[in-house]
Amino acid sequence: MVIESVNPATGEIVGEVESTAVNQIGRIISDARTAQSDWSALPLGTRAGILRKFGELLLSRRKIVTELMSKENGKPLVEAYASEIIPSLSFIKYYASKSGKMLRQRRVEIGIPLLKTKKAYVRYEPLGVVGIISPWNYPLMLPLGQIIPALMAGNAVVFKPSEFTPLVGALIGDFLWEVGISRKLFSIIHGGADVGAALVSSGIDRLFFTGSTATGRKVAELAARTLTPVSLELGSKDAMIVLADADIESAASGAMWGAFMNSGQTCVSVERCFVDEKIADRFIEALRKKVAELRTGAGTEAGSDIGAIIHKAQFEIIRRHISDATSKGARVVVGGEFSEDGGGHFIRPTVLADVPMDSILMKEETFGPVLPVVEFRNEREAIDLANASKFGLSASIWTADSKHGLDLAKKLHAGAVTVNDVISYYGISDGMVGGVKESGTGRVHGREGLLEMVTSKYYEVERAPRMKKLWWYRYDAILLSFFETATDFLFSKSVFRKIGSLFKLAPKILRIRKL
């Protein structure tokens, strides 16, 4: 079966790939296990060198990659560079240079005196074969944020790109194979839900899924049947809180970019904007003026700010969310026009005010160029409104007082909170991304993202192997008395009790007999 990649701006076919037969998944996993054994045996520095070559290849062919992303995904070329190429190259550089230190064996300090004859370590070892299922909205940056640390940690990877952006996924494979990664160590499977389900059920050692909460729930349920560990980065409804002392011009520009970048098809998009009632009118007017100047068009056109919506189904979801909000009293401040001319699906970036909290637009992930603005009376109300969502991926607070902003950030239920910025933290290699509530489990990027790719293994050596341990058999009244006294010595808060128990221990230990 052939999967066709369609340009969302024109409806034209960009290219095609062959779908992977479900009955081939088992063999692919088996081959990956064999390849992983050899790969993990390589020095970490050797693995890093190979991935650096991959980064050099991506850098040299970045124009080919960005043009393909724009055609296949619909995003403007500027965003293909800023939100895909640059973060991806940063991930490669970061993990290639820092993984050795982060995965270094760690000595365990043993605190109990009776166990001081032991020497212990924690080692970080590869999981084995990991599966990565990635979405269409960031077809390069999202998968590479997991592929690179997975390979650096010594794993084999089976990667399923979205069926809507299979060509970018295929290009990742081409580049990795060109620099020496074997096709068995890094394999690509193409297809829809049936192929994804087969991967989840294949016996891999961990699955990394990025996508909607609804699909993530199905993935988790399926993975539970085989007890396959899963890391889920799911949907969100990110809140932006604009306090009365915020710079209105800067906050309006940040809200506009945060809501409409990649046509709003971003998991960390600003999907709810809460503004202090004292500045709401000025903020909304600033937004209106700025948004009116945005240009909608094919992403391949250098002057386009807002590209096409990925497909008809998503186009209709966005339309329904706006319609529901306006039917309940929301007013369109700017935008709200829909177009399907020329085979593409376009929506003018839309700002709505007076949006009811019970509207779909305020409760469900919209994933489109829509920004609902709601006024609040005080900070407590703003925090409550932001936390009312079932999602919790990220949020932002805008204020002239950054210390106060950080204090408020601690009250928000989200995996990440930024002060006076939005979204860009996602591209910081040293940072961390991950949600709470229905936004998922697990973490990507930074040290936490690398540790998701390994298993922590405890090693211990007894340095006095001929010594019989006090806690071994035989049990008797003497041994019981010894441990009662030892407990006082180890944990009593009274210094006099500790000293007294110490003097009692010496004669007791001489009377203990072991089998």
Residues 307 and 384 in one domain: yes
Percent of the chain with pLDDT over 90: 95
CB contact set of 482 (below 8 Å; sequence gap of 6+): 470, 505, 508, 509, 512
CA dist., res. 228 & res. 223, Å (int): 5
CATH of the domain at 95: 3.40.605.10
CA dist., res. 137 & res. 369, Å (int): 13
Q: Which of 41, 25, 48 is nearest to 133 (CA)?
A: 25
In a domain, 5, yes or no: no
Q: Name, of 108-117, 320-329, 491-500, the range with top average pLDDT.
A: 320-329
- In 3-state terms, what secondary structure has residue 320? helix
Averaged pLDDT, 468-495: 93
Residues 476 and 452 in one domain: no
In a domain, 7, yes or no: no
Residues 100 and 248 in one domain: no
Instruction: Return the pLDDT at 388.
Output: 97
In a domain, 13, yes or no: no
Distance (Å) of CA 163 to CA 174, 341, 342: 17, 24, 22
Residues 143 and 105 in one domain: yes
Phi, psi of 328 (to 5 degrees): -100, 10
Summarize pLDDT for 103-162 with one digit per residue, the tens.
Answer: 999 999 999 988 999 999 999 999 999 999 999 999 999 999 999 999 999 999 999 999
Residue 28 has pLDDT above 90, yes or no: yes
CA dist., res. 150 & res. 143, Å (int): 10
Instruction: Return the pLDDT at 1.
Output: 87
pTM summary value = 0.95
If pLDDT is split at 50, 70 and 90, which confidence band does 342 have? confident
Summarize pLDDT for 214-240 with one digit per residue, the tens.
Answer: 999 999 999 999 999 999 999 999 999
- In 3-state terms, what secondary structure has residue 382? helix
CA dist., res. 303 & res. 244, Å (int): 34
Residue 15 has pLDDT above 90, yes or no: yes
Strand spans (E) along 331-401: 331-334, 338-339, 346-347, 350-353, 370-376, 394-398
| Among 84, 233, 271, 375, the one annotated catalytic | 233
In a domain, 29, yes or no: no
In a domain, 62, yes or no: yes
Residues 332 and 245 in one domain: yes
Summarize pLDDT for 32-58 with one digit per residue, the tens.
Answer: 999 999 999 999 999 999 999 999 999
Instruction: Return the pLDDT at 341.
Output: 83
CA dist., res. 309 & res. 108, Å (int): 52
If pLDDT is split at 50, 70 and 90, which confidence band does 212 have? very high
Instruction: Return the pLDDT at 506.
Output: 86
* Segments forming the whole domain that contains residue 406: 238-429
Instruction: Return the pLDDT at 464.
Output: 94
| Among 79, 84, 267, 271, the one annotated catalytic | 267
Residues 319 and 367 in one domain: yes
Catalytic site includes residue 233: yes
Per the omega criterion (within 30 degrees of 0), is the bond before 474 cis? yes
Residues 313 and 259 in one domain: yes
Instruction: Return the pLDDT at 273.
Output: 98
CA dist., res. 157 & res. 130, Å (int): 5
Residues 425 and 452 in one domain: no
The angle, 0 to 180 degrees and rounded to 10, between the axes of the packed helices 44-60 and 166-178 is: 130
Instruction: Return the pLDDT at 123.
Output: 97
Total number of residues shown for the chain: 515
Summarize pLDDT for 281-317 with one digit per residue, the tens.
Answer: 999 999 999 999 999 999 999 899 999 999 999 999 9
In a domain, 174, yes or no: yes
Residues 124 and 259 in one domain: no
Number of domains in the chain: 3
Burial class (CB in 10 A: 0-12, 13-18, 19+), 109: exposed
CA dist., res. 221 & res. 268, Å (int): 25
Count CB-CB contacts under 10 A for residue 13. Answer: 10
Summarize pLDDT for 172-195 with one digit per residue, the tens.
Answer: 999 999 999 999 999 999 999 999
In a domain, 6, yes or no: no
Residues 256 and 385 in one domain: yes
In a domain, 382, yes or no: yes
Residues 179 and 116 in one domain: yes
CATH of the domain at 399: 3.40.309.10
Exposure string over 292-306, b if 16+ CB within 10 A, otherwise e: eebebbbbbeeebbb
Count CB-CB contacts under 10 A for residue 225. Answer: 9
CA dist., res. 250 & res. 439, Å (int): 28
Residues 345 and 264 in one domain: yes
Catalytic site includes residue 273: no
